[in-house]
Amino acid sequence: MSLFPMFIKLAGRPCLVVGAGSVGTSKIEGLLAAGAAVRVVAPQATPEVAEWSRAGRLSWQARGFESQDLDATFLTVVATPSRELNARVFQEASRRGVLCNVVDDPPHCDFYYPAVVRRGDLQIAVSTSGRSPALAARLRRDLEQQFGPEYEAWVEELGQEREKLLVGPSSARPDAQPDARPDTRSGLDGARPLEAPLGIKERRERLHSMASREAFQVFVGRTVKDQTQRRKGAEKEEESVGKIQRISRAAAEIKRESA
């Protein structure tokens, strides 16, 4: 069976988690991070889930599962040690058209949790359709080496530059030709020439150029340079502070000897 890969917005959507042990807690944490409206049904819960409930981050009902718990639910995650209960929740969810995932039980899953590499807004997901979570985990580790922490800042910068490009002069004339001549009229300050509108094709080419490997290497080089300059600045400031402190101690010592 072929799966349809997608990233879904869960902010404000009602999600049910049945079970609040260590496995359920990790699933709950992920749903909370996505902004879902989380309800938990479980006789007992981990200290983390209990604390989230007290803080108002989720609703926890300390009891067993009931069919009506699935009312007005977008999706549900089931993480209990009872295979019978897990199957029952899945069957009831299927009957109601509610997406369901029973942890570590592929036949009772409408969707799978992929192995994910997260670098800020960059997310790379790997799935084996439940065939080999171990392989997915190994591939995730490989990808974590390939896409290091520096990608978080780069993706943030790309997003900012994209917004500037899409809301700038180019948005005023979507039908502009790529070879349009620059507008040489001065701006309101009388000094800066106005930028020529970009055509759709030229905008696309510029966005792809900004996301190229070469652009990434330039970004990394600039980042390393900035970090080096900040470190040197901090070292220089620390040295100056130390010098002032030494002078102050020397002055205090001279004052004591004079007394």
List, for residues 214-249, the tens digit of each pLDDT value: 988 888 888 877 777 777 777 777 777 777 777 777
Distance from C-alpha of 126 to C-alpha of 38, rounded to nearest angstrom: 25
For residue 10 the two structure tokens come to 């869960």
For residue 73 the two structure tokens come to 């639910």
In sequence order, what DSSP letters do the residues of 45-96 get, joined into one string?
--HHHHHHHHTTSSEEE-S---GGGGTT-SEEEE--S-HHHHHHHHHHHHHH
What sign for the dihedral angle of Cα 112, 114, 120, 121? negative
CATH class of 14-113: alpha beta
Distance from C-alpha of 93 to C-alpha of 102, rounded to nearest angstrom: 11
What pTM was computed for the model? 0.67
Over the stretch 181-216, which tens digit does the pLDDT of each residue have? 444 444 434 444 545 667 788 888 888 998 898 988
Residues of the chain with CATH 3.30.160: 114-148
Coil, helix or strand at residue 191 = coil
Coil, helix or strand at residue 40 = strand
Fold of 114-148: Double Stranded RNA Binding Domain (3.30.160)
Say which residue, 230 or 120, is predicted with more confidence: 120
